[in-house]
Structure 1
Amino acid sequence: MESELSDQDRLSTLGSTHPIAYHVGQPEMDLDKWLIFSLLDKDFLVSLRMVCVFGTLGNEAIMVTKDEDVYGLGVNQSGCLGIGDLHSTLLPRKIEALSKKRIKKIACGSGPHLLACTYEGELYSWGHNGYCQLGNGSSSQCTVPTLITSNLTDKKVADVACGSHHSMCLTDDGEVFTWGQNNCGQVGLGTTANQPAPRRISITTGKKAVAIACGQTSSIALLESGELFAWGYNGNGQLGLGNNANQHLPCKVTNLQGVFISQVVCGYAHTLALSDEGVLYGWGANSYGQLGIGNKSNPSVPTRIAPEIGRVVEIGATHYNHLSSAMTQDAHVYMWGQCRGQCVMMPILTPFHSINSVFATFGTPCVTWTAISFDVQPVTRVLDALRSAFDEPEGSDVRFMVEGKVIHVHKAVLKIRCEHFRSMFATHWEGDTNEVEILQFSYNVYKAFLRYLYTDELDSNPEDAIGLLELANAYCESQLKLQCERIIKQGITVENAAMLYAAAIKYSAKELEDFCFRFALNHLSEVVQTEAFLHLDEPTVKSFILKAALSGAFRY
């Protein structure tokens, strides 16, 4: 029977403790796969620099802003939001004890409990504590992050990892400390007695650890020499020692002799390791294909995985599920294992650009495999660059004159986005002044159209949308026409229904025509008394009356 394996944190390339997975870009784009963030304000999402999603349903999160404020969000099981109570929240609540502390790493245990370390090397813990996994000397639940100092005096904590009910930390001088539940020897002190406070473990002399990870009841450390040492529960061979016996002291994974490991992660009951040459290995439980070796055997020694996908640069797994993922040198992201209930026996290519997207979309629960850290440096996306370039005189090469006002644009952008402009700016087009005068449309309408070509966004009122509908019809822009119809439908009122109805007829928008007619029919007495209805031309009025009669509007 498989034993649960805990929080893996992604382990480091040699020379640094394992970096959190970095995803360059805007947080609101990277977080849209998690429903827990769907109610959050866009401005708040943009302010984030680190996010960790955890919980048995992927319904809890810790968020750190660029201003170093920390917030909790979600169901708050065992006080794991750190907000001082057990109340759940759909909106962010500030964690005062961690704010302005400059959080560096966060790890989550399925117990549940959490650890966080700061750039100054401080260690905080909170959540469930029935097995002393918080390391504060007690076994009482803690709803507020508490500074842990026992046995860590003059030490700077650089990394943290959590098992289900045990914890680990790595100091900047390469020492490993463990505490908490120890029934399988997962604390690595040679006994099975629970440990209430951090204790340094002896892995090997003269070599520093550079990264750590936890299974649910097992632990693993990566040394600066590229060697792995594992201890704790081994019922599925997840320690990689060639047997299934539990280990109460750290044991070297000898079957990787001559291989320099640079990263290691733990899944529910399996382990993945990556060499400095980009070669991927796995061992342990494999009943869902989580080792990606094409069968369901459970190897207890490191086994090479999928050499056909090429050089691997990043790997991911989490104790919350049986899913594995890897990113290759050419930025292709693969996944295998239990993918939304399906057993995928070999790595398959995904359309994603990050490993966390795999876990958000196909993991059950949809947790982050490691905390996401967003690049704090300004990042310019293509869409952002286009948006800022719109109507900027500098760099533009054509001007539209509309109602005496100028709109600055770029021929190349217009030609890419619109067939009308591709024809207009063909090679035979002569624009001595690079200026085009527009007479048939208003300034507001034409500017909204050109902005749409730059941003793919349309923000207009129903009245201007009528002008845009006319333009879309004239320029054969079917997508723009659909968006105009949507705006018109959303803005229809008794006062403008007749005008919108006439416009829909004029521009051959049959679906919009039917929508406006049904609205007018539902409010017939009010609509026929409006100014807009009185200004309809005679054929339109006659047509409307006939349709209304056929719909039974005048029956008694």
Structure 2
Amino acid sequence: MKRKDIRIFGFNTFSKILKNSSSKIKKPIQINLKKEYQIKQIIGSDSIFVLYQNGKAEEYKTNSKKKISIRNEKIEKISTGNKIISILTNEKKVYLSGNIITKSEKQSQNEFINISKRIEDPEDQNVNDVICGAFSVYLLTSKGNVYGIGENGFGQLGNNLNDQKKQAILMMKDVSKVFTGNSSSHVFILNSKKELFGCGNNSYGQLGLDTSIQKISELTKLKNIPKGKIIDIQCGNAHSIMLISGEDGKRRVYSCGNSISNGIYNCGDINSFTLIRSPLLDNLNIDRISSGKGHSLILTSKGKLFAFGKNDFGQLGIGNKKNKIYPVEIETDNFWLNVSNYDIGCGYETSFLHYSLISNLNEDFVNFFRNGEFSDYCFVTKDQKRIPVHDIILRYRIGSRNITNLKLLIQSKDEKEAKEILEMIYGNYDIDIDSKQEMKRYKFWKEGLNETMKRMYYDKESKDFTIKRGNKNVLVHKLVLIARSELYRGMFLSVTEDKSNKVTDYSELSDEAFEILIYYLYTNEIKDNGFKLTKEIRNELEIAMDYFQLNESVPNLVTIANELHNQKYK
């Protein structure tokens, strides 16, 4: 699967590209948009929007395609509902097109209205996230307040007021995250204390409450939530699914709502979040979830893809149009190169998945291990498979004394188990509990990857590469550059370039910006070095990310810098 490719199944929104294809695609089919830029996000409802890394977007309908842009601002995120399109820009503004725009505003077909201004408090109009329900929109501001705007027939704005289209209503303060769906009239809100609240339509128990309460017009604290950390909640029209990281570190999926859509083999609707039990999922760790109107997708850390729910348009990708009231596996033709770099998503009756550059420090180093490049030596497994490893990373992660013990442990495992153990070391990943306990007995487990990388950053003696900046030399670890920067990975893979050094200037970057960048390469953090994160330095950091061809990582370097600046000066 190429990095710019998409796989879709279900209702064929891309018929303009997929000529001679059925309107109902029953198995995942690959398409290539042939764009220069990497895909950042795909989101859909009755149409599909593709957002690229350069901040531009396109909308695909059954027989048409059009470009989406917002003046001179970059698009950071798109969220859609029922004939609603909301756009979050890099200026922390939200623009809206669709049913919520009032007729008095005389909106043209292609016009987007700035609805950030509908927040009454002018000091709270910087929006960090926008989330669309079916007929309502939720704005989460940089102050941690969430506002609702739009239809309120089910109380999905958290009050008993009539529809609110002219003003954004404050729903809750001190909010961590908001969850709803493109076809949903219910919403969940998680506060900073990790308490979960809900309101809106509950006619099928989709809020996890008894169906005798048809709708909840006030935000209600939800009890009997599964123990563990809430990773994600995805909402359909009449069901909800929740991804929980349990006390044992394993991620599981829970569901409630309509019996056809909730993935639980049961004769009736489920009015409390219940574990989806399936022999297919029992021994797998769940990576991501997504829901459409009445169907859901589950992606596991082993690269397996499952679906359940309604299947009228083939949106389950299983080759037919039969509904499935329990999870079934989708054949993926082994196209997953690295499951952590793939996103899944659902439109109303469509499903799609695509390669994403979104990554973090842990994933970058696991990818580095999986590539098997630039290794120093190999471990041999019980089934005589050779696994390339990197001496300096192992020495920092587990200590030189433990490498011999690790070698013996790998020799006792087959290739699959051995790779799981090594991925755990490289990326601080969770693996099955037995192997984790075995590693603890060998005293391998000491710290997270972030702490390891900080030690590497401050250890000048082991740095083996020099970046020249005029008459100054900056020492770094070659393997860190390779793991984090596509520029340097390509340079060291080249057979023609000098691999002993890379003479560069980076003259547009100040010493302050360059120091911030190098520390970020190691830690995904900005070091408190006394620098003022001025607008000039923040602009330089954006240039630096382009120079080094860094992945659009989480958290983003420029985003961190902006947030730190705002905390200090606002």
TM-score (norm 2): 0.50
1:73 aligned partner: 60
Q: Which amino acid aligns with 2:44?
A: F
**What SS does the corresponding residue of 1:199 show, helix, strand or coil?**
strand
Q: 1:136 to 1:102 in 2, by over 3 A?
A: farther
Q: SS of the residue aligned with 2:194?
A: coil
SS of equivalent residue, structure 2 residue 272: coil
Quick check: 1:365 aligned with 2:349?
A: yes
Change (3 A) 1:244 1:316: farther
Give, in angstroms, the shift of residue 281 of structure 1.
0.9
> 2:195 corresponds to which residue?
227
Bigger Rg, structure 1 or 2: 1
Change beyond 3 A, Cα 1:137–1:227: farther
Among 81, 88, 105, the alignment partner of 2:77 is 105
Preserved CA contact (<8 Å) 2:4 2:32: no
Matched residue, 1:64: 51
**CA-to-aligned-CA distance 1:302-327 (integer Å, 9 cap, x gap):** 111126413222111023xx111212
Counterpart of 2:17 in structure 1 is 38
Q: Distance in 2 between matches of 1:265 and 1:42?
A: 27
Would you say the 8 A contact 1:48–1:63 is kept in 2? no
Query: What's the offset of the Cα at 1:229?
Result: 1.1
Q: Aligned residue for 1:414?
A: none
Matched, 1:269 2:251: no
Describe how 1:43-54 pairs up with structure 2 within 5 A: 44-52=34-42, 54=44
Question: For the Cα contact (< 8 Å) 1:162–1:168, is it kept in 2?
Answer: yes
Report the residue type matching 2:153 in the other structure: N
2:456 aligns with: none
Q: Percent identity?
A: 18
- Say what the alpha-carbon RMSD is for the aligned residues: 3.7
Structure 1 counterpart of 2:210, from 242, 252, 255:
242
Retained in 2: the 8 A contact 1:62–1:72?
yes
Partner of 1:333: 305
Counterpart-to-counterpart distance in 1, 2:15 and 2:40: 15
Tell me the equivalent position of 1:211: 178
Give SS of 2:172's match: coil
- Report deviation, 1:64: 3.1
- Whole-Å Cα distance in 1 between the matches of residues 201 and 156 of structure 2? 7
For the Cα contact (< 8 Å) 1:103–1:116, is it kept in 2? yes
What's the counterpart of residue 430 of structure 2? none
Aligned match of 2:501: none
**1:100 shift after superposition:** 4.7
Matching residue within 27, 32, 44 for 2:4: 27
In structure 1, the residue matched to 2:291 is 317
Aligned to 2:139: 169
Q: Displacement, 1:376?
A: 7.7
Q: Give the counterpart letter for 1:336 in structure 2.
A: F
Q: For 1:347 and 1:185, how far apart are their aligned partners in 2?
A: 32
In the TM superposition, residue 138 of structure 1 has moved relative to its aligned partner by 5.2
1:80-479 counterparts in 2 under 5 A?
A: 90=64, 92-96=65-69, 98=70, 100-110=72-82, 112-127=83-98, 129=99, 133-134=100-101, 143-148=110-115, 149-151=117-119, 153-154=122-123, 155-202=125-172, 207-214=174-181, 216-245=184-213, 246-256=215-225, 258-277=227-246, 278-286=251-259, 288=260, 290-306=261-277, 308=279, 309=281, 310-319=284-293, 322-339=294-311, 340=314, 341-352=321-332, 353=336, 365-368=349-352, 374-375=356-357
Instruction: Name whichever structure is richer in strand by fraction.
Output: 2
- Preserved CA contact (<8 Å) 1:67 1:100: no
Structure 1: which amino acid aligns with 2:349? P
* In 1, Cα distance between equivalents of 2:144 and 2:34: 36
1:418 is matched with none
Q: 1:255 to 1:336 in 2, by over 3 A?
A: same
1:473-504 CA-partner distances (Å, limit 9, x unpaired): xxxxxxxxxxxxxxxxxxxxxxxxxxxxxxxx
Unaligned residue ranges in structure 1 (runs of 5+): 1-23, 76-88, 386-556
Alpha-carbon deviation of 1:368?
Answer: 4.8
Whether the aligned pair in 1 keeps the contact of 2:43 and 2:79 (CA below 8 Å) is no
Contact 1:262 1:274 in 2 (8 A): yes
Amino acid at match of 2:292: T
Q: Check whether the contact 2:175–2:191 (CA below 8 A) recurs between aligned residues.
A: yes
What one-letter code is carried by the residue in structure 2 that aligns with 1:64? L
Helix, strand or coil at the partner of 1:256: coil
Q: Alpha-carbon deviation of 1:102?
A: 2.1
1:212 and 1:120, CA in 2 relative to 1: closer, same or farther beyond 3 A? farther
SS at match of 2:262: coil
Amino acid at match of 1:28: D
| C-alpha distance in structure 2 between counterparts of 1:134 and 1:305, whole Å | 39
In the TM superposition, residue 242 of structure 1 has moved relative to its aligned partner by 2.8
How many aligned positions are there?
326
Inter-partner Cα distance in structure 1 for 2:175 and 2:33: 42
Amino acid at match of 1:294: Y
Which amino acid counterpart does residue 349 of structure 1 have in structure 2? E
Shift of 1:232: 1.1
- The alpha-carbon deviation at position 268 of structure 1 amounts to 2.2
Report the alpha carbon displacement of residue 357 of structure 1 after superposing the two structures with TM: 8.8
Whole-Å separation in 2 of the counterparts to 1:115 and 1:236: 27
Note closer, same or farther for the CA distance 1:141–1:231 as it changes in structure 2 (3 Å cut). farther
Task: Please say if residues 135 and 197 of structure 1, whose CA atoms lie closer than 8 Å, have aligned partners that are also in contact.
Answer: no
Counterpart amino acid of residue 38 in structure 1: I
Deviations 1:113-133 (A, max 9, x none): 111112331111012x2xxx2
Distance 1:172 1:332, change over 3 A: farther
- TM-score, normalising length from structure 1? 0.51
- SS of the equivalent of 1:173 reads coil
Q: Is the 8 A contact 2:85 2:97 kept in 1?
A: yes
Q: Over residues 346-392 of structure 1, what are the superposed CA-to-partner deviations in whole Å (9 max), with x where a residue is unaligned?
A: 212222357999867xx8722559xx673289999x99x9xxxxxxx
Residues 272 and 280, structure 1, Cα contact 8 Å, conserved in 2 = yes
Contact kept? 2:278, 2:327, Cα under 8 Å: no
Deviation of the 1:164 alpha carbon: 2.2
Distance in 2, matches of 1:273 and 1:184, equals: 21
Structure 2 residue runs of 5 or longer lacking an equivalent are: 20-30, 315-320, 374-570
Alignment partner of 1:187: what SS? coil
Contact 1:227 1:260 in 2 (8 A): no
Residue by residue over 1:73-94, the C-alpha shift from the partner in whole angstroms, topping out at 9 and shown as x without a partner, is: 335xxxxxxxxxxxxx63x433
1:6-31 CA-to-partner distances (Å, cap 9, x unmatched) read xxxxxxxxxxxxxxxxxx95123546
Aligned partner of 2:324: which letter? V
- Check conservation: 1:259, 1:275, Cα contact below 8 A: yes
Q: Is the 8 A contact 1:229 1:250 kept in 2?
A: yes
Letter paired with 1:144: E
Contact 1:116 1:124 in 2 (8 A): yes
